[in-house]
Amino acid sequence: MSKALPSHVLPPSAATRDFSNPRFPEPRRRRYPSDLTDRQWARISPLLPADASVGRRRKQPLREVLDALNYRWETGCAWRMLPHDFPAWGTVYSYYRRWKQRGVMHLIRAAVVGKPPRRR
């Protein structure tokens, strides 16, 4: 049985988020300046693919994956150097690769910074 963290340890926006989904409990990591705001999340969440009706269920909340991607964009760190309180770097990279191939990353990046990434 796990104990809840005291309110001073939780991120400031944790009180406003809906963590009623038992699959994705309250995050237990510190907040980074690069984390998505609730407003950014509201713009991005409709762009994300829905859960598949068959196959394995998601283990990581997509907001945590996007926070990790945003951290990497902001810091420029290598995939393997993502902090350990984010989902595993391989998980984050696989979402990034899949979304990039499907054109979703272009839309996400435009929603986060207001302009699309440069084409290489």
Q: Give the span between the Cα atoms of 59 and 40, in whole angstroms.
A: 22
Q: What is the pLDDT of residue 87?
A: 93
Can you tell me the distance from the alpha carbon of 112 to that of 1, in angstroms, rounded to the nearest whole number?
37
pLDDT band at 120 (very low <50, low <70, confident <90, very high): low
Count how many Cα atoms sit within 13 Å of the Cα of residue 26 in the half-sphere of its side chain.
17
Structural contact between residues 63 and 93, judged by C-beta atoms closer than 8 angstroms: no
The pLDDT assigned to 16 comes to 46
Rounded to whole angstroms, how far apart are CA atoms 59 and 27?
A: 13
Among 25-34, 77-86, 96-105, the least confident range: 25-34
Tokens 């309180």 -> residue: 85
pLDDT over 90 for what percent of the chain?
A: 30
| Alpha helices (runs of H) in 2-120, residue ranges in sequence order | 38-44, 62-75, 89-101, 104-113
When mean pLDDT is compared across 35-39, 76-80, 89-93, the lowest value belongs to 35-39
What would the pLDDT profile of 15-45 be if each residue is shown by its tens digit?
444 555 555 555 567 788 989 888 889 989 9
pLDDT for the residue numbered 106? 86
Q: Give me the percent of the chain exceeding a pLDDT of 70.
A: 72
Q: CA 63 to CA 93: how far, in whole Å?
A: 14
Per-residue pLDDT, 95: 93
Q: Residue 41 and residue 44: Cα distance in Å, rounded?
A: 5
What pLDDT, on a 0 to 100 scale, did the predictor assign at position 10?
Answer: 47
pLDDT, average across residues 5-16? 48
